[in-house]
Amino acid sequence: MSRNQTTNRAVSLPSKSTGWKHGAGARWLLLLLFVLLFYASLSPHLIPRTYDIKLGTISDREIVARKQWNDEKATIKAQERAAENVEPKYSIVALRNEGLIEQIFGRVEQLNAEDQVTFQNKVDIYRREIPERYVSFVNNFVRTNLNSDTYSATLLEEMAKNVKDQQYQIPEETYYKLPLLSSKQIEEMEAVGVDVVRKLMSEQLRDAETARAKVAELVNTSALNDRTSREIVAELARYAIMPNKFYDKEATEEARVQAKEDTQPVVIKEGDVVVKRGQLITEEVYERLEGLGLLQDSKNYWPHLGLLLLSLLFLLLIYFYLEQSGILSSGPDRKYNNAQLLMLWLIFALNLLTMSIISMIQTIELSYIGYLAPAALGAILIALLLDTHLAMVCSLLFATIGSIMFNLDNDHLFDFRYGFVIAVVSFAAIFAVHRASQRSTILKAGIMVSLFGTVSVLTLLMFGDALPRTELIYAGSFAFASGLLTAVLVIGLMPFFEISFGILSALKLVELSNPNHPLLRKLLTETPGTYHHSVMVGNLSEAAAEAIGANGLLCRVGSFYHDIGKTKRPSYFIENQTNIENPHDSIEPKLSKSIIIAHARDGVDMLKAHNIPKPIRDIAEQHHGTTCLKYFYHKAVKLAEAEGEEPDFTEDDFRYSGPKAQSKEAAIVGIADCVEAAVRSLRNPTMEQIETMIQKIIKNRLDDNQFNECDLTMKELDSISQTLKETVVGIFHSRIEYPEDVKPKERLG
């Protein structure tokens, strides 16, 4: 069939259904339900009940608080005053500095006993090792006590910093005096030095210099008579003396935090009476009512109008996307009807219901419980059951609505944190289930939601003030649990939508394409020829469907089952007649016709018995449409002529009972079925023969009005023809003869 032929012939479109699935009234009712859903979901969060009360008047009613409210201004001021009154906290660190001076004298005694080491080398060693021992002594103390309960890490850090900052510098001449000491002198000096250091370090020292100033007096009153010995001991004692009282930042902060916590806030609990009947509205009471959001200057309908407009904006976003993308358009490109719009409404209702339930148990104290909401539930269901791009658009709506629902700040309409998290997890879920082929993909998507949700929540919390570790753990845990809850809900709800709306999701189709399915196993074992034919038809139909934007996976799986009825009488179909005579040669053409035509009806019955979804049953029932079995018709005519009788039948008696193809997918499978059988019947076909045969098959069906009840256009038929030709050439390439004048290029070099 040439392009001119296809473009000059019109394809009749299906008549518009008058049922609710295609009715305009039902569509407008569903759109109104969307507005009501948005309004009802957001009304508790955007339209609080308020009272018309003036300052200085007498209240004519009793007013109770609908929520707990703190007088934050007064509370914060009181807490700050309490924190400022807390004195800085200092802690004593027992360094046991006498150990350092013992180490130094021990090293001096050891090195001075080494005769092989020269005097200058000993001086150099002391000059290097003694400062190193100071630092090592401090670091070892920090390392030893870092994981103990005695000192906090911040206190040890402060101690190390202060001790190193106040390190005493030993005069250079002292290093030259040390190699001259004898063992006896070292022993006497060590005893005096240890005693001096222990005595001075028993005091609480913030500044080591105050203790070092007393070293000379204590050394001079000791038993040491030698002047040089007293000088060396004094220098080393000063060196070993360190501060032992340090500012404890953690203890100070804890004391200030405790002081704030001990400050009693002014709290109005939910249900408390704010104003009694007959009470004077003073300025304090008025501010309290204002803080609780209970005041209005007059009857104000603007919030209701604003919410209504917001709901309409949400609806318009969905509606315009559906119209622009052709999903709900009234033309031949319409993808879904009112049944799918109802399913979209139910998904929105379920998602908003789960979010509303979580928002009801969310409190100021448990604000992070909002991250538990399985907000990605709607995005995953829409992506799996309807359309991926529609799921992305709806994810933005869910994020916006969530930022309103979980907002606990009365001063702002949105809390972007929740909206950001919902958007992140929704898009992550959509990408995770994109082209999903197994149920386990939903669980993987739930894990992705958990991971992305946890990371996004913790990322947001890092930008604020330092939060307690417990709150970080709670927030991350809620976000992680949200993904698992989402996966459980999706897995539980998917069968409901698939059964209730007859939806064949990609997951269900892949399950049905499993060769271990009882029907496919029966087809393979009992009719291997038909099985191979069905697989080939699946390859052809999938390619043709994808070329025009139809459901390629449905075509492939439908092709697997389209001839399942042949398993009742396998030997009567030519692809299964291996090494046997054709039984049709010995029976009447009318009986042959009845057997052949029955395979479509038998297939539908078998598919129903195995609960195969209706779209696949429709393909099995409609792939032949009402075409005529011309071979048996002409055979019957010849037999009647041979017997000299007038035929008591017409061509219509040899037609399939139909119905004609009602969908693009059924029509495509029917074309691919004929094309595969026709090409298989050719011996060494050429590309010209294949192209001519495909065009002839499509043209014959078009002339026979087989496409009158589906919405295939001429342009799409032309695309199907071209795609089938390319696919057939790819599948049967080894059997195709190419024209003689096509010569391979000579090999270069």
The span from the CA of 56 to the CA of 134, in Å, is 74
741 confidence band (pLDDT: 50, 70, 90): very low
Average pLDDT over residues 221-242: 85
* E strand segments, 614-720: none
**One domain, residues 159 and 271:** no
Convert 472-510 into a string of H (helix), E (strand) and C (coil): HHHHHHHHHHHHHHHHHHHHHHHHHHHHHCCCCCHHHHH
**One domain, residues 38 and 100:** no
CA-CA distances (angstroms) from residue 292 to 55, 130, 280, 288, 389? 15, 68, 18, 6, 42
Among 503, 526, 545, identify where a domain stops: 503
**Domain assignment present for 424:** yes
**Domain assignment present for 80:** no
**One domain, residues 729 and 617:** yes
Tell me: the pLDDT tens digits for 334-377? 566 788 889 999 999 999 999 999 988 887 777 888 899 999 99
**One domain, residues 470 and 435:** yes
Q: Which residues fall within 8 angstroms of residue 50, CB to CB, at 6 or more apart? A: 293, 294, 295, 296, 300
- The average confidence (pLDDT) of the chain is 83
Average pLDDT over residues 577-585: 78
Res 10: pLDDT: 28
**One domain, residues 66 and 124:** no
The string of DSSP codes covering 157-210 is: HHHHHHHHHT-----HHHHHHGGG--HHHHHHHHHHHHHHHHHHHTS--SSHHH
**One domain, residues 153 and 189:** yes
**One domain, residues 490 and 555:** no
Domain count, the chain: 4
**One domain, residues 454 and 474:** yes
**One domain, residues 365 and 460:** yes
Average pLDDT over residues 688-693: 87
Instruction: Count CB neighbours of 165 within 10 A.
Output: 9
**Full domain range(s) for residue 656:** 517-735
CB contact at 8 A, 445 and 433: yes
**One domain, residues 561 and 693:** yes
The span from the CA of 431 to the CA of 425, in Å, is 10
Tell me: the pLDDT tens digits for 390-413? 999 999 999 999 999 988 776 678
* CA proximity to 524, closest of 474, 563, 485: 563
Least confident of 98-112, 328-342, 426-440: 328-342
18 confidence band (pLDDT: 50, 70, 90): very low
Highest mean pLDDT among 148-157, 209-218, 438-447, 499-508: 209-218
Among 440, 469, 503, identify where a domain stops: 503
**Domain assignment present for 257:** no
Taking phi over 0 as left and psi of -120 to 50 as alpha, with beta for the rest, 195 belongs to: alpha
Among 185, 214, 247, identify where a domain stops: 247
With b meaning 16 or more CB within 10 Å and e meaning fewer, what string describes 470-486?
eebebbbebbbbbbebb
**Domain assignment present for 232:** yes
The span from the CA of 374 to the CA of 478, in Å, is 10
CATH code at 541? 1.10.3210
**One domain, residues 354 and 393:** yes
The span from the CA of 589 to the CA of 620, in Å, is 23
**One domain, residues 229 and 317:** no
Tell me: the pLDDT tens digits for 594-635? 888 988 999 999 999 988 888 899 999 999 999 998 888 888
- Residue type present at position 405: M
